[in-house]
Structure 1
């Protein structure tokens, strides 16, 4: 190192597998388009409503539909009717535009798109296609990052809170909501809010001093709405034991409030060589599992009469892939987590 070089080391940069193929050494925000499509094996109960955009809704009343009659020509071949001018046909896909970084420091990983985020997006899309469970609810996304999962939920939910920590990540999330507002968000109310898991609940509320200080602050009515929230979602927030401890601390507070809540959490198991174990292990995953009693297991002594988290592992083979631009691999897991208040 030259004498004139700063003694402060450059922060280590990491890159999500999802971004492989993006321009190398790309600095600043990058735009990616993710195709959300309906797999052939899925027949949604509300297909037209779910895939309808603002433009579709505006044009629906003007659409002209013809009665399709099956006819054959003289040779016995099927005659396919042509679409008349102005006739409306529903597409079975739409695109989400996501602004993200190609690389980031570890504290800023929320600026990237991660594989677990796409797996959770698949799950959310599947639930919206096969049931009405998420319709009209209040939802809270923890560690929202780019906001993709919460934005998909906003299609059917009454209100969605996208929460994360730090202005850079929250500003980027707000930009993504803006980029997709005309494509997919024509119903749900989306709110971007600061939530630092290291701080006590409730978070600081807006005092109305200035726009820069209050744009991601909570107000009293929003904190009351969180009490009535039924759904929490989180993706790729398990990579540091300290962060995992903080996550379950905030979960205990949130899931003790108001109505019964369920968390759907997607994570990627990350393996490292451990000198103490002399083996390749996923210590971060093991620490996460230490917080859960798996559903169906006999109650452990420490969870017999005290509040505890109960987890159910969801088989991803039962969830079709709605997001096309990624490979799931075998190291991503999806969990349903409830809090047993006793």
Structure 2
């Protein structure tokens, strides 16, 4: 969430030391229960609580009505429960994710903290994994990953996850978190913690051959080829600085305009500030984000083929339909998730 990613510099500013030379410290709302004066890494445990199994599932018929899915019985009349063969969280009703993070940080290092948008996006990913096989066996990219929480959740279903951010301190913390949670991933999952600076070109110039001595967080040729096959991108709380938003969409255009169709789920928190330019309370970072998108709803999407459009198309996810699986945060009303696609022509809607 730093440099190549984002964070939340406007939450709970804390001035340390009182001197002008001291860097301003900020604190995520998620950390309000942590010791405020704690220095260095802190360990938090986030409990994921999944709904209990049901013998009969209620399903929609596509026309707004609901019907019961009939369960099969064996020759003795006993109920045959559907078995989940994938190595995901579906087999357990709860588990715990351990995250090393800082309680406060300077603005350039906000990726060392856990933010609300990160947790709501993890809820969305868990919901998708629990109710569908859409993320099974895919290649996924976590952009501006911060603590790496979302990428690690994805590793319970995806075969390959690239957890990316910028800066050795944030990336080192990501790698530590992957090590702390290695038992949660499915047995075929491959997780890579890699440097991805949105202000630099993609693919990066500094690519190594697999036979060379590997530097920390540097890409090798085979990994770049694998990333290009990704179908899913996720990013959380990376919208707060207009220059960073510009850099994000610049790299997104490169990553998403390939032949492999990709979708981005972007979670954010709308942060409102009073500005003299507007003489009003506005969410400037959010407004700048929307300038990159053509927002559609389900009705507009049906008529979109009549329009000529090339670029990013976004659709809001209804969070009222996404249960809160992670218990240790307050969702509030400022969090939002956008489903974003890149279309080359109107036929791609």
TM-score by length of 2: 0.79
The reply on whether 1:12 has 2:50 as its aligned counterpart is no
Q: Does the 8 Å CA contact 1:140/1:229 hold for their aligned counterparts?
A: yes
Of 333, 336, 342, 1:339 maps to 342
Of 317, 320, 324, 2:323 maps to 320
State the Cα distance separating 1:257 from its structure 2 match: 2.1
Residue 33 (structure 1) aligns with: 45
1:46-85 matches, within 5 Å, as 46=84, 49-51=87-89
Residue 109 (structure 2) aligns with: 108
State the Cα distance separating 1:46 from its structure 2 match: 3.4
Between the aligned partners of 2:130 and 2:85, the Cα distance in structure 1 is 7
For the structure 1 residues 8 and 202, does the alpha-carbon distance in structure 2 shift closer, same or farther, using more than 3 Å as the test?
farther
For the structure 1 residues 185 and 33, does the alpha-carbon distance in structure 2 shift closer, same or farther, using more than 3 Å as the test?
farther
Larger Rg: 1
State the Cα distance separating 1:265 from its structure 2 match: 0.5
Q: Deviations over 1:176-231 (max 9, x none)?
A: 000001234533100010000000111121267755xx220111111111111100
Name the SS of the counterpart of 1:182 in structure 2. Answer: helix
Between the aligned partners of 2:28 and 2:265, the Cα distance in structure 1 is 21
Q: Does the 8 Å CA contact 2:88/2:186 hold for their aligned counterparts?
A: no
Q: Does the 8 Å CA contact 1:194/1:217 hold for their aligned counterparts?
A: yes
In the alignment, structure 1 segments of 5+ residues that lack a partner are 53-89
State the Cα distance separating 1:7 from its structure 2 match: 8.8
Count of residues in correspondence between the two structures: 296
For the structure 1 residues 252 and 48, does the alpha-carbon distance in structure 2 shift closer, same or farther, using more than 3 Å as the test?
closer
Q: Does the 8 Å CA contact 1:117/1:149 hold for their aligned counterparts?
A: yes
The reply on whether 1:221 has 2:222 as its aligned counterpart is yes
In the alignment, structure 2 segments of 5+ residues that lack a partner are 1-16, 58-81
Between the aligned partners of 1:13 and 1:119, the Cα distance in structure 2 is 24
Residue 309 (structure 1) aligns with: 312
Residue 62 (structure 2) aligns with: none
For the structure 1 residues 46 and 279, does the alpha-carbon distance in structure 2 shift closer, same or farther, using more than 3 Å as the test?
farther
Q: Does the 8 Å CA contact 2:87/2:187 hold for their aligned counterparts?
A: no
Residue 284 (structure 2) aligns with: 283
Between the aligned partners of 2:50 and 2:212, the Cα distance in structure 1 is 46
Between the aligned partners of 2:86 and 2:201, the Cα distance in structure 1 is 43
